[in-house]
Amino acid sequence: MARVVRVAVPNPLRRWFEYLPPAGDPGTSRLRPGMRVKVPFGGSVRIGVVLETGAEPEIDPGKLRRVAECLDEEPSIPPPLLRLLTWAASYYHHPIGEVFRTALPAGLRRARREGPAARAWRLTESAATSGSLPRAPRQAALVAALENAAREGGEPWLDEARLASIPNWRPAMRALARKGWVEPLVVAPAQAAGGAAQLAAPNESQAQAIEAIASAAGTFQAFLLDGVTGSGKTEVYLTAIDRLVRDEGGQALVLVPEIGLTPQLVARFREALPFPVSVMHSGMAAGERLRSWEAARTGASRVVIGTRSAMFAPLARPALIVVDEEHDSSYKQQEGFRYSARDLALMRGSIERVPVVLGSATPSLESIHLVAAGRCRRLRLAERARGARMPRILLHDVRGQPLAAGLSERLLEAIDERLQRREQALLFVNRRGFAPVVLCHDCGEAIECRDCDSRLVLHRADRRLRCHHCGAERGIPVGCAACGSSELVSVGSGTQRLAEGLAERFPSARLLRVDRDSTRRRGSLDRIVRAAREGSADILVGTQMLAKGHDFPRVTLVGIVDADAGLLSPDFRAPERVAQLVTQVAGRAGRGTLAGEVIVQTRRPRHPLLIALASDGYPAFAAEALAEREEVRLPPFARLVLLRAEAPARATSAGFLATAREIAVELPRPGVEVMGPVPSPMERQGGRYRAQLLLRSASRSQLHAFLRPWVERIAAVRTPAGLRWSLDVDPIELG
Ligand code: ADP
Ligand code: ZN
Ligand code: ZN
């Protein structure tokens, strides 16, 4: 019986493909799972990943084609990562070839492994047993140098920088490599090796958390590090990493939100930990990314810090996974392969048998629920590490009050006080630009985007109107398109208008604006944050970019200009996001020795969730919000799947979803509710009509048992021209 190779080939079909082993390769193939192969596919050649070798064919082997070429010496994807990705393809019902393509760095999606040149060398195991080199003094000197490096307790290798002190080392090293005494490896650049970690002495609750994590070494255990802002979670990660990476000889994977991956954070890790730290994010150049990937795969880098996609970093000896700010929505990929890196972290931890630490000052309701269900252990840091007090949150009712550029008299006075005392104030608005809406004063008609159900935002600096959804822009019209009136007024408040209003009121105050417009240039957020910390601004005005991670010791007032927009959003997660944002922004206040105050302007001062948050803090809010979710059977008390469709014509997307619904109704679906189809909350975007069908079930297994045949049948439906559909398992936004 012929044995075949199963390969994940990038293409939209939800299955693997079978091939015969490469020509001239007998039954004992050198192919192993996780290796990249070139395979014929239709009329083209594609690069896939071997899932299985020596499988029984499902198709007549006489009809199968051969693997054209094996591209790897060693698997690009180590076995545990292969299991994770295979699991993810089935859990998210996404084409397996696309899942692997998403996971691989761009440099490995091409045939030529444009591998980074080796930058370091280490002794192999056979070197130790191979005797001496009396006739090759230069080789002997290299071996001695490598042995020394291993003995000194640092990294057991030498990089080119250190080898440079040995004259003519390259030919000698090549000779050793031919004998199998040394092997090349890729290391993260510019790394000090050895030495002691630079860590703060932990306080009592930090020490308890570190102990709990370290004692879970070598087993899967989920932890929720629930620590108020400024409680020293980062220090806990660092010490736990130091323990697990040093003592267990392992590697740590640290995920941070997109906005959290700043040069300061990376510098903090590099300065604190005496191990090679490498960085991985999607904005890196392909070569750089490939170097980090290889360094992780070979074990040369001991700590990998990255954003969402770093969840797919191959690790030679994983010891710990950390997800910082685990509630952050950037962990969910919102297009293509819609995975949640936070959820995958838990699955990866259980496959790799390592502890997983989810950290946050504002844990997701999912995580709080996991703790309640006994599947995650909560580690609490209730106090700020430097003893600073948590700020008070005041709900300020602005109904019927005069507002200047969106600011109430109460908030303006509070700002004035800070200016007098030479402290800083931070004002937070949801929206960049000048004003969210331009209205006709005579008929009330708003200027909307031609292609989206969305109003254009006025950006006054260049006098343009922009759509924040599709990016369309236009000049300010001379008159109202509906009634012809020339009286157009701008209402609402964006960062620009707020900054202008403040400049008028406090002409001598130094203002700093932080939003996507003001930080478009690379590294600019960093510069602004540094300027703010160094005290070269009195008032900071910003969007949520300012909410995370930054530490501004002189900020003692945080003003949240408008909490209502978030509360009124139709999305069931909106209140959770508002509460997280308010708490995170509030966490910027009073981090130094100065106490802080937070003023939240609202027209809904009796909103029960807002009251719980203001008077008893985030845990109280979370308890109430969870009770509400349970009552209405929403996550984490139910599982959701959203089928989205969009097309240039409304009828096309509606028709497709109606068919999907019919298929669902024909299938057995115990415990699964089918809701819709309905138009999406923003029905028109970029000129396309969007609609959705929602599935809900209390049981994950029942839901997935239904999904498999359903998705298969939907995928077989002949889709009309222009229609695009996608499946979102565990969506974080219902729009
Ligand atoms: P979080 O990540 O929880 O918001 P950080 O880890 O950024 O908090 O810590 C807040 C501040 O407290 C940082 O400046 C940090 O250096 C300091 N810090 C944390 N733990 C300690 C400690 N045990 N002793 C002294 N300072 C600490
Ligand atoms: Zn009008
Ligand atoms: Zn638009």
Of the candidates 524, 523, 561, which has an alpha carbon nearest to the alpha carbon of residue 541? 561
Q: What is the pLDDT of residue 581?
A: 86
Task: State what percent of residues in the chain have pLDDT above 90.
Answer: 46
Which of 199, 233, 234 maximizes ligand 1 atoms within 8 Å of its Cβ, making it the mutation to test the pocket? 234
Best of 206, 208, 235, 380 to mutate for ligand 1, by most ligand atoms within 8 A of CB? 235
Q: Quick check: 77 and 37 in contact, CB under 8 A?
A: no
Strand, helix or coil for residue 653: helix
Q: Using CA atoms, how far apart are residues 147 and 103, in angstroms rounded to an integer?
A: 36
The Å distance, Cα 655 to ligand 3 centre, comes to: 24
Distance 493 CA to ligand 2 centre (A): 21
Supply the pLDDT for residue 118.
56
Cβ–Cβ < 8 Å for 514, 553: no
pLDDT tens digits, 347-364: 999 999 999 999 999 999
pLDDT recorded at residue 728: 97
Enumerate residues 6+ apart whose C-beta is below 8 A from 702: 669, 670, 671, 672
Q: Rounded to an integer, what distance in angstroms lies between the CA atom of residue 514 and that of residue 511?
A: 10
pLDDT digits (tens, 9 = 90+) for 131-147: 777 788 888 888 888 88
- Least confident range from 117-121, 223-227, 319-323, 396-400: namely 117-121
Measure 455 CA to ligand 3 centroid, in angstroms.
8
* CA-based nearest residue to 53, from 27, 23, 72: 27
Rounded distance, CA 357 to CA 534, Å?
32
Confidence category of residue 436, pLDDT binned at 50, 70, 90: low
How far apart are alpha carbons 608 and 567 in whole angstroms? 11
- Residue 90 banded pLDDT, cuts 50, 70, 90: very high
Read off the pLDDT of each residue in 575-589 and give the average, rounded to a whole number: 84
Taking the CA of 450 as reference, the closest ligand is 3
Residue among 636, 648, 659 nearest 724 (CA): 648
Count Cα neighbours of 129 within 13 Å in the Cβ-side half-sphere: 3
372 alpha carbon – ligand 1 mean position (Å): 27
pTM: 0.83
Calculate mean pLDDT across residues 563-587. 80
Helix/strand/coil for 185: strand
Query: Atom 27 in ligand 1: which residue has the minimum CA distance?
Result: 385
Query: Ligand 1 atom 23: the closest Cα is on which residue?
Result: 202
Give the confidence band of 624 by pLDDT, cuts at 50, 70, 90: very high
Residues flanking ligand 1, CB < 6 Å: 200-203, 206, 227, 229-235, 385-386, 551
User: Residue 543 has which token pair?
Assistant: 């969007």
In the predicted model, is pLDDT for residue 466 greater than 80? Answer: yes
- Cα distances from 643 to residues 232, 248, 529, 735, in angstroms, run 41, 44, 40, 11
Average pLDDT value for the chain: 86
Higher pLDDT, 514 or 63: 63
Q: pLDDT (tens digit, 9 = 90+) per residue, 630-689?
A: 998 999 999 999 999 999 999 999 999 999 999 999 999 999 999 989 888 778 888 899
* Phi-psi sector, 203: left (phi>0), alpha (psi -120 to 50), beta: beta
pLDDT at 703: 96
Q: What are the structure tokens assigned to 451, written together?
A: 């292609």
Cα-to-centroid distance, 479 and ligand 2 (Å): 8
Ligand 1: residue of 198, 386, 389, 555 to mutate (most ligand atoms within 8 A of CB) is 386
Residue range 260-273, pLDDT digits in tens = 787 788 888 999 99
What pLDDT sits at residue 587?
Answer: 79
Model confidence at 186: pLDDT above 90 = no
Question: Average pLDDT of 461-472?
Answer: 79
Contacts of 126 (CB under 8 A, 6+ apart): 180, 181
Copy the structure tokens of residue 248: 């267990």
Distance 473 CA to ligand 3 centre (A): 8
What is the full DSSP assignment across 451-503?
Answer: SSSSB-EEETTTTEEE-TTT--EEEPPSS-TTT----EEEES--HHHHHHHHH
Is the predicted pLDDT of residue 40 greater than 90, yes or no? yes
User: How far, rounded to the nearest angstrom, does the alpha carbon of residue 564 sit from its chain's CA centroid?
Assistant: 27
Tell me the per-residue pLDDT of 362-420, one tens digit each, with 9 for 90 and over. 999 999 999 999 999 999 998 887 766 777 888 998 877 888 878 899 999 999 999 99
Rounded alpha-carbon distances, angstroms, from residue 193 to 154, 200, 246, 273, 622: 6, 20, 12, 9, 43
